Structures are given as structure tokens and as C-alpha cells.
Chains A and B, each alone.
Chain A
Amino acid sequence: METVRAIEQRLGKKWVSISGALVATNQLLDALRASVADLDDPNYSIIVTGSLGRGEAGSDSDADWMLLLDGLSNPDHAAMTRTIEARIRQVVPNPPGSTGTFGGIVVSHDLVHYIAGTRDTNENLTRRILLLSESRALTNEIVRGRVIGNVLARYVVHDRSVPSKTGKQPAIPHFLVNDVVRYWRTIASDYASKMWERDRKEWGIRNIKLRFSRKLLFVWGLIASFSGELFPTPELTTAKSDDEYLRILSDVIRQQTNVTPLELLARVVEQAGDDQIADEIFTSYDHFLEVLAGQDTRAALQSVRFEDATSDQTYDDLRETSRKFREALVKLFFDKHQQLPRLMRDFGVF
């Protein structure tokens, strides 16, 4: 998070929760990698997503993991998932979410071939977008990178539904932008659905995560989709053919999958050169992580009743902070940045 750190130093701020979470994440990732090091295999990668992927984990975090298969199938993979689960649980005791989206086998073919269309389930969409936006490999980074490359090739290289009149290829992959927007709208809708199905159980923490960390994933997705314009490379401008251009563009986007959402946002904030926006975004997010890291405050957020929303200090304070976070993002994306307002207008809405 070198850009976050640079902004922090320039503004004379102390975002201790952001830096503390990164340290905690790296320690957890080291421990997790050590715990499964002997389970390495060329046909799969053991992946974690969630706060571990974003560099925002703490002592109360869970570990959403998947056995990402990209090779020969083998019935023994089922037994392997149980071994992985046991090893991970020794390091991170909290179990993954109850939806079944994580904690088992994920086959790369579904992620690559079932993008949109009737076979793309909510679960598949979630796994795919989280693989791109907030995943880290515990074993075999090559497999993770390969699957991500194939998914992005679907979005970028093979999305030629309309031939170009000018012969000039677009720097913005519409298919990817649309799926990023779709995922954000899906998790926002699923929040409402879960509130209905679970009678608002843990609604407070879900609501606050939607306002911060889930929204940050959307931010990551937009910036990554626009990275051909935001972070152009010399190779893009000297591509020898349309096909090569799209493959290099796909690779430019792939590079962002190794950057945490907060760091990628910081790089765009730096481009905008607006210190007030920078302060509002990162001070707000630091406060969000501070509340999640505190045992008492996190527990308060988990147990707050819907009826007490306006009177609960922890929730109400974070809701207020989330508004500052949102307003700063709106200023960045629709006003202050040199390119984002045009990109949002041209590709983000209609």
C-alpha cells in the first residue's frame, strides 16, 4: 500500500487501522501459507478472498477460501478440501460464510465459460468477481494468475459483439464494466434479500460493510476496468494488431488484480491531486477498520437492532462516516479526477 502510505505522510495523518490491518493480514497470510505449504499441486491453487485478499484482516476475520481447480479432475480433491479446511481453521478459527460460496472446490471452467447467460449463477458471479478484486493465493500463484488471465480474456479479448467501424479497439472493455456494475447491484440487492430471509439478523454489520468494503470492491472494479485509460503502458500504444492490443489490455487489467482495492483507489486519488478528497476517503475508511478491529465495537455492530439504528452510537457514527466516504468518492469519480468523470459518463451509466 505504498501510495496510501505516501498520501498519509504527505497529509501528516496517522491511519493506524489501515496500516495495522495490513500488518495483521500479512502475518495471517504467512501463517496460512505455511499451514498448507505441503498441499501444493500443479492442478490447483488454494485461494483466500475477503478481508485477507483486501489487506484488511484482523483477529476476528474469517477466511473465505476455495480450492481453485485448473487442471485434471481427481476424486481425491474432495478429501483435500477437508484437509485444507482443518489446516485453515487452525490459523483462522472463524468459519467462512454459511452460503456455501466458499470453503470448497471451485472449477475454473465455470468461472471462464459461464460469464453472464443462464448458467452464470449468483455464486459463480461472486466467486469470479472476488477472484479478480480481492483474492490471494496460499499455494501456486501461477494457477491463480492463469485463471484470472483466462477470465479477463473472456471479458476483454473475446468480447467483440459489435465490429469496430474505425478499426480502433476500445480501451474500455464494456463486458467487464457491465459485470462489475452487475455485481455491485447484485450484492446491494442481496443485502435486502438477506435482511428479509434472516429477519435482519446481523443487519448492522452487513449494512456497514455494504457502505465501505463492498463499495470499495465496486470502486476497484471500475478503476481496473478503466485501467487501459488510467494506467496506459507503452506496449498498448505500439501493439502490432487489434488482437495483440486486446491481449495486452487484458494483461494491464490483470496487473490490478495484484493490487489491493484501497491501494488502487489511492493511485487514482493521487492522480486527482485533491488532498481533501484523499483525507475524506482514507480517514473514513480507517475509522471503519478501527470499529471492525475493536472487539466491543464490532460486537455492538453485530448485535444492534434495526429499531435502534438512529440511537446506537456505534452504528450511527459509522453511518455518518460512510456518507463522507461516499461523498468523497462521488467527487472523485464525477468531478475532480481528470478522466474519471468522462469515463463514468460514457461507460458507467448508459
Chain B
Amino acid sequence: MRPIGFSTGALAKGDFACGVQLQRGVDGINAIELSALRDHELVPLVEALSTLDLSGFHYISFHAPSRLTSLSEEKVIGLLLSLPRSWPIIVHPEIIKTPSLWLKLESRLCLENMDNRKSGGRTLTELRELFASFPDATFCLDAGHAKQIDPTMAMAILMLREFGSRLRQVHVSDVGAAGEHLSVGIMARVAFSRLAQHVPSSCPLIIESIIGSELIRAEVRSVTAAFERWLSFDAPEASDAAAN
């Protein structure tokens, strides 16, 4: 069974404990991303790790802050290095100001492709430059970001072909014009299904759709269907997923 679960930040912004609780024990969920997207969340999350019940999650990743306002890079790296070594650390490229510090994370550093609001890491060319600077880094494909940059998904396909050996997890959500993370609708499902053959069944899917807790199961089913098989607008799989 493919590892699949939510980012805690998507289910409960700023409340990681709630983000864990909402998905723990839900049928079909066996992966999680602990999110400290705002830097003031980082210290409390790291300190609370020993108290969180993460049993049942076979895959755990950790999302580093996307912007530093109260913490230094040195402090952030120190905290990230204290995390279990098996956890990939998802990083937005634009936070990296001092590459030598981030190189300390070695292959735990998992770089994510970005959306239109950012100034780098958005395209194949920009990712190529990043991975040249961080040769051991792994890759978190954000399917929604890739779709926002290129709805035809050609660029995402080429990213997976070129960086497939680095692929550690996939972020899944639709992404709006202003970068907001949305529920995965039919257009996104069909687009993402074009990537299915390049995403191994062992690769975790981390859902970032910002949804109410009552929609968790439906979103998991939609996302699972999109990465299981080719979907088209007139295929029953697509309409089934939409109906659920």
C-alpha cells in the first residue's frame, strides 16, 4: 500500500498536535508530514516530538520553515539536525541563504519545486542549478506547484525523468493563482494522473489540500485514484473519484 497522509499544516494551521490527531487512525493514512512552515512553530514542534503519538505512520517527513523572521539559519539547522535521521526535511529553496549550512543535512535535505510566487526552484532549469549545488539532496515534487507553472504537466514529467532517482515524496494539492493550496479537483486529478507512471508505488504522497476534517477520507481517495492510473474526463475512475 502506498504511503499517504497529510501535512499537519494543511489540516490544522499552526496546531501540529491537532494536525496529527485528525489523521491518526484514519483508514488508508499511514504517512505524515510534520509542518513548521512558520518559524515560530519550529521550536515548539521539535520540543513536543517526544510527546506526539506517531505510531501508525510508517513514513514521517518534516517541513522546515518557509521564511525566517525570528530564527537564524544556524539555529534552524541545529534544530533540524536534531531530528531523527530517517526523516526527510522538506525545504523551500528560497530560504537557503548560506548553502554550507544546509549541506550539513546531506541527503536529508529534500528540496521542493516552487510556485509562481517564488523567485527560484520553479522550473526544470532552476531545479537543475539547485541540485548541482546540493548534489546529495533529495527531491519533493510538489505536483500542484508544477501544475501551476505548467498545466500541461510536461515540465513535471521532465522533472521526474531527470530527478526521479532523488524523488523522496510528492506534495499533492491543487494550487491557485495566488499560490493557495486547494482541494484536488477533477482538473488536478487528471493532470496528476499523467505523472502516475513516474511515481513509484512506494513513494509517499503528502496531501497539502487545505480542507475541513470531514473531507479527509474523500481527499485521500481522490489523490490515491489520481496516482494509481491514467484518468481522463470521460473515464469512470475520474467520475467515481469526483463523486466520492
Binding site for B on A (CB under 8 A): 42-43, 71-72, 140, 142-143, 145-146, 149-150, 152-153, 157, 235, 240-241, 243-244, 247-248, 250-251, 254
Interface of A is mostly: helix
Contacts of B152 in A (CB 8 A): 149-150, 152-153, 157, 247, 250-251
Alpha-carbon distance between A142 and B122 when the two chains are bound, in angstroms: 9
Instruction: Known A149-B152, A243-B194; judge A143-B158 contact (CB<8 A).
Output: no
Chain A residue contacts of B117, Cβ below 8 A: 42
Q: Given that A71-B177, A142-B116 are contacting pairs, would A149 and B151 also be in contact in the complex, using a CB cutoff of 8 Å?
A: yes
Closest 5 interchain pairs by CB? A71-B177, A247-B154, A251-B154, A153-B152, A142-B116
> In angstroms, how far is the closest chain B Cβ from the Cβ of A42?
5
Given A248-B157, A251-B158, A149 contacting B116 (CB threshold 8 A): no
For the complex formed, measure the closest distance between the CB of A246 and the CB atoms of chain B, giving whole angstroms.
Answer: 9
Mask of B154-167 contacts with A, CB within 8 angstroms, 1/0: 11011001000000
Closest Cβ–Cβ distance, residue A282 to chain B (whole Å): 28
Nearest A residue to B117 via CB reads A42
Task: Indicate whether A247 sits within 8 Å of B177 (C-beta atoms), given known contacts A42-B116, A42-B117, A149-B154.
Answer: no
Chain B residues closer than 8 Å to A146, beta-carbon distance: 148-151
- Give Cα A194 to B154, complex, Å: 40
Inside 8 A of B154's CB, which chain A residues have their CB? 149, 153, 247-248, 250-251, 254
Q: Are B194 and A42 in contact (CB under 8 A)?
A: no
Asked whether A247 lies within 8 Å of B157 as measured between CB atoms, the reply is: yes
Q: Which of B116, B155, B158, B197 is within 8 Å of A140, CB to CB?
A: B116
21 residue pairs of the A-B complex, CB under 8 angstroms, read A42-B178, A142-B122, A142-B123, A145-B123, A145-B149, A145-B150, A146-B149, A149-B152, A149-B155, A150-B152, A152-B152, A153-B154, A235-B161, A241-B197, A243-B194, A247-B153, A247-B157, A247-B194, A248-B154, A251-B152, A251-B158
Shortest Cβ distance from B122 into A: residue: A142
Q: How far is the CA of A157 from the CA of B153 in the complex (A)?
A: 11
Contacting residues of chain B (9-47) with chain A, CB-CB under 8 angstroms: none
Please measure, in the bound complex, the distance between the C-alpha atom of A208 and the C-alpha atom of B179, giving whole angstroms: 47
Contact B177 A42 (CB under 8 A): yes
Find the B residue at minimum CB distance from A233. B158
Q: Is the CB of B155 within 8 A of A244?
A: no
